[in-house]
Amino acid sequence: MSANSADHLPQLDVVLVKAGRTKIRYTGELLTDDGTRLAVRAPWAGSGVRDFGFVRFEPGDVFTEYYWRDRWYAIKEVRSATGALKGWYCDIARPAVRSGSELVVEDLDLDLWRSADGTDVRRLDEDEFAESGLGESDPEAARAALDALDELESLARGGDFTALLA
C-alpha cells in the first residue's frame, strides 16, 4: 500500500450473478481478505427503498458483507444510516471467487433473515429455489445450498451466529 492509499481501503467490485446473468454490480471497500473469508463494506446498492415487510433496505443503509471461498453462503450485516443494527440478510450462494479487484458470487435463490435481536429468523425464497431447477440440473449444488441454509438457520436460532463474523 502506498503512503497515499493508507487512508483509503482498497475498492472491490462485487458482482452478484443469478441464473448466469449479472443481477447487480457495485463497489465496496475491502475490509479484510484472509484467503478464506472476505469482508466488504458497501452502501445499499439498490435503487430506492426495498420493503420486505420485516425489514426495509433504503438509501443510507450500510452493509458489511462476509463472503467465503469455502462455504455456500454470504452474510450481510445491515445497519441504518445512523448505525443502528437492522439484522443480517444471508444469501445462499456458491463459494465466492475473487479475481483481482472483482468478487463474483453466484446467488442460488435461497435466503435467510435474522433480526438484530435474534427473535425473527426466517427462510426466504424457497419457492424460487424450487422453481430454479437446480435440484435437477446440479443435484450436488442443490444439496450444498440446502445444507448451508439449514446450518445458518440453526446458528441463527440458537447457535453462535455472530462468531461467524468475528
Q: pLDDT digits over 150-159, tens only?
A: 999 999 998 7
Residues 6+ apart with CB under 8 A from 10: 1, 29, 30, 101
Residue (of 96, 97, 78, 80) closest to 88 by Cα position: 78
Retrieve residue 110's grid coordinates. 435461497
pLDDT confidence of residue 7: 58
pLDDT confidence of residue 9: 83
Helix (H) or strand (E) holding 139: helix 139-157
**71 exposure class (CB count in 10 Å sphere: 0-12, 13-18, 19+):** buried
Q: Which domains does the chain have, with CATH numbers?
A: 11-164 (2.40.380.10)
pTM summary value = 0.92
pLDDT above 90 (res 136): yes
CA–CA separation, 69 vs 96, rounded Å? 5
